[in-house]
Each structure stands twice: as C-alpha cells, then as structure tokens.
Structure 1
Amino acid sequence: MFQPVDHQKTANAAVEQIEDLILKGVLQSGDRLPPERNLAELMKVSRPVLREALKQLEERMLIEARQGGGTFVCDLIGPIFSEAIVQLIARHPSAISDYFEFRRGIESQAAAQAAVRAAPSDIARLDEIVRRMQSAHDAEDLAAEARLDVDFHHAVGEAAHNVVMLHTLRSCYRLLENGVFYNRGRLYDHPTARIELLQQHKTIAEAIRRRDPDEAHRASQDHIDYVRGTLADAQAMDRREQLAGLRMNKPMKNSARS
C-alpha cells in the first residue's frame, strides 16, 4: 500500500501519497496507520520527516492521533443529509420515494461503470461477498445477510473507480446501515424477499463479471425497484392491519330488542 517517496519532495511527498490513498478509498475512515517506525521504513523517509507529514495531515483533519492508541484516518464520511432533514423525512414517509429514486440513479450508474472499469481484484471481492451471502442465506443468518448487503453495494461503488461517486455512496449507505429510511427487518418479513435479493445481487455481480454495462445498469435498477415495491406492499399491509385492529376493538353495538 505505502511506497517509497520522492526524497526531493520529502514530507510533501508523504502527505500526497497518504492523501491519495484516502481519496481513492484505500484508506478508509477508522483505518489505523502502521506504527511510525514501520511507516517510515515503508515510505523510505526519516521519522522526523514522517512526523512532519503526519502533522500536516492531522491539521487538515484527515488523520488523528489517539493517546496510546496510534494514528487513525478520521471519520471523513459526513452526513449526506443534515439531522434536521433526516427527521423531516422520517415524519413524512412519502419522501422516502425520493431516496429510492436517488439510489436507483446513482447505483445503476455505478454498476454500469463497474462493468467497464472493475479490476480483477474488484471482481474477486464481489464473488467472495456473493459466496458469503449464499452461506448466510443458507444459515438463515439475517444479521449477516443485512451486513453483506451493504458490503456488496460498497464493493460495486469501489469497482466503479470514481472517487466522488464512491464517497457519495458511502455516505448514503451509512444511512442504510443505520436504518434511517426504512426498517430492513421489515423487508425480510416478505416470504420470498431473502431469496429474491440474493438472486438480484448475483445478477448484478454476474453482469459486472461479464463486462456488460447495460445488463449491470438494468439489474441494479430492477433491484431498487424490487426493494421499493416490496416495502410499499409491507407498509400497505401494515395500514390494513391497523385498520382491521381498530374495527375489531370497536365496542359492539347492543342488539336491537325485539
């Protein structure tokens, strides 16, 4: 990951290299940098030069030194929405359709670009995630399935090799992980959702593997359409159940006397 730096640039070269790794998503929020001695050896710089580079990165709020714990990449994924707008959306569920529309557009574009740009290691990672998805499905491990679902979409975003898209998607998926827009467990309540979702992810991965951007784009859109439709059906059933409960609990009228 870390390479020897140009000694003509000294600390600036070390800064540029670490910044580039962060920008391209190789170093991610929360990742720990190697110990100072090891990192200096990897980059072929003196420890004073490395300390100067790390100081600059810390001033730019890209890394942080934790007392007795090492140096870590800062939490760089800011909220894609303010807390106020998140709460506003939560109070107005109809706005969630806009969230799905946003995901439908950006994820299908990411999948299409991944089909063109994915490196062999990107495809290998997708294959591994799909394999683990199958194992989690077979074991009926819903928590693992939900976690791997997010991992899969992260991997597609990384395989698109567009840094702006990558960081936008990561911010979006943080909301997904936190259940901001919908309850993922509610989605899994649908009797065929788990197998349908697994197959959809396999289809997206296969299209990327075959270098078919049109199919990857279509499969990604179909996936979002399915999630949106299934959740809409679940919400409609919840409303019907609530109404039925109100009717059932309504006091019975006294029978008319003959």
Structure 2
Amino acid sequence: MSETSTGETEGRSGTERVMAFFREKILSGEMASGDRLPAERELAQHLNVGRPLLREAMRALSMLGLVEIRHGSGAYVGKADVSVLSDFFTFSLAQEQNVSEDIMQARMAIECQAIRLACERATEADLDRIGGCLSALVKTLGDPEKGGEADYRFHDSIVRASHSQALITLYRAISALLKRSHVERRRTTYTAPEIVNDLVESHRRVFLSIVEGDGDAADQRLREHFAIGDELRRKSIIAAYSKGGLDL
C-alpha cells in the first residue's frame, strides 16, 4: 500500500479511505478524467476495504459524476457534476439567516475578480454573448421572471468571459440562489420607469467597461452597479409603501 494509505489513513473508515484515494490521486495529477480505475479486487486490497463497501462508495462517487461505471468495461474517472454542487449549496445556504446578503457578498467577490480577468481574456464570442444578454435584459424589463433570468445570464456571461474555471464553478454552484435573488429584486423595481432606466444604463456601462479592457475601471463600474442596485431597490420599496402598493 502507498504511504498515504498506511500511517496517515489508519484512523479513517473504509469509506473515507476510498474518498481520500480519489481525492489524492486527482489532486496529484496521477489520475485524470477518462482514466480507467484498477479492477475492483485490486482496489479493495489496496485500500484495505471490503468489496461491498467499495461498491457502495463507487456508487456514491458515480452519483457525483466523479466515477463512470461502464458495465462490462470497468470503472473510469469521471468529471464532477456542478449541478450536484449547486444543489448542495442551495440546500445548505437556504437554511441560513440573511442568506440573501451572504449570497450578494459572495457574488460581488466572484464577479469583481471575474470582470478584471474578462478585460484581459474576453474573446469576440464572449463580448457578443454579453451584448446579447444585455439586449435580452432590455427586452424583458416588464417581466420580473424573464427579466431576472436575463439579468442573471448577463452577469453569468461576464464570469464565463473570465475563463477562470474556478470562478465559473463557484458561480454556478450558487446559481439557483443567484437567480432567485435577481427575480426578487426585479419584482421590487420593474414598475418604476425611472428605476428601470437607471438599471439599464448601469448594465450598459458595465458592458462597455469590458469592451474597453480597463480592469480597474471595470471593477469600479461593477461595484457602482451593485451600489446602484441596492439604492434602487430601497427607493422602490419606499415608493411602494408610500403609495400603499404593498400589503401590510
């Protein structure tokens, strides 16, 4: 057995040893997506676990997309399914207090770094995609559901333009909560024309900052966009209560 499977893992349960084996092999680069795994008997002996336990662990890894089991051929290293990670974050964070504020802070951290990278790395295809999302955002101003979805796609396209797989994965992991946040914000702003116009102009400035390729300016405009969004949301809530538009 390897060094990590003797002294270091003696106190681990069988399942933990199986998980640790895959984690360590993938992190070290010894295994990559598509590589064939050792035969079940060999792997069970190597990890000092029973074959029934190994099968259960492999099924769990398969559900996460980390292992691909091909009947008649064996097991292969797969690729993690980000949607599973998104479900985990959604269930976990949705139970926390002030989740909307926490998600907003995480979103700002990811997007502000992503937009800097996008200024350096964005391709013509990326710019076309972001511009198309901006057009879709304008066309859906009167529909909170579609508008919120369009708003999310605009910001997601910025993160994708960073070409940072880590940022893209983290952003997608909280995508369900982000989409909900966008829709909720749209519901409080879409009935006020002056607020909607400011929203469009703010998105337009963010897009142009990426086209210009100035990372510092883009970062600043995006932060201003977040601040404007918060201020517009507050104004719309005040206006709604002042007009009796919200049920108390």
AA partner of residue 124 (structure 1) = D
CA contact (8 A) 2:103 2:177 kept: no
| Cα distance in 1 for residues equivalent to 2:234 and 2:188 | 11
1:88 equivalent in alignment to 2:88:
no
Q: 1:100 aligns with which of 101, 104, 111?
A: 104
AA partner of residue 76 (structure 2) = Q
Identical pairs, percent: 19
AA partner of residue 34 (structure 2) = V
Provide the secondary structure at the position in 1 that maps to 2:95: helix
**175-184 vs 153-162, which moves further:** 175-184
Cα–Cα, structure 1 residues 80 and 219, in superposed 2: closer, same or farther, change >3 Å? farther
Partner of 1:199: 201
CA contact (8 A) 2:103 2:178 kept: no
Cα–Cα, structure 1 residues 52 and 164, in superposed 2: closer, same or farther, change >3 Å? farther
- Cα deviation, residue 133, structure 1: 2.6
The 5-angstrom pairing of residues 174-193 of structure 1 reads: 174-179=176-181, 182-193=184-195
Deviations 1:128-182 (A, max 9, x none): 2222333334xx4443322211111111010011111111112233202234994
Partner of 2:131: 127
Q: 2:34 aligns with which of 15, 34, 38?
A: 15
Give the number of the structure with larger relative contact order, counting CA–CA contacts within 8 Å between residues 6 or more apart. Answer: 1
Unaligned runs of 5+ in 1: 1-11, 17-48, 63-72, 247-258
Partner of 1:165: 167
Partner of 2:76: 56
AA partner of residue 228 (structure 2) = Y
Provide the secondary structure at the position in 2 that maps to 1:56: strand
Q: What is the CA RMSD across the aligned residues, in angstroms?
A: 3.6
Instruction: Give the TM-score normalised by the residue count of structure 2.
Output: 0.59
Instruction: Give the TM-score normalised by the residue count of structure 1.
Output: 0.57
AA partner of residue 94 (structure 2) = V
**Count of residues in Structure 1 that have an aligned counterpart in Structure 2:** 183
Where do 4+ consecutive residues of structure 1 move more than 6 Å?
Answer: 238-242
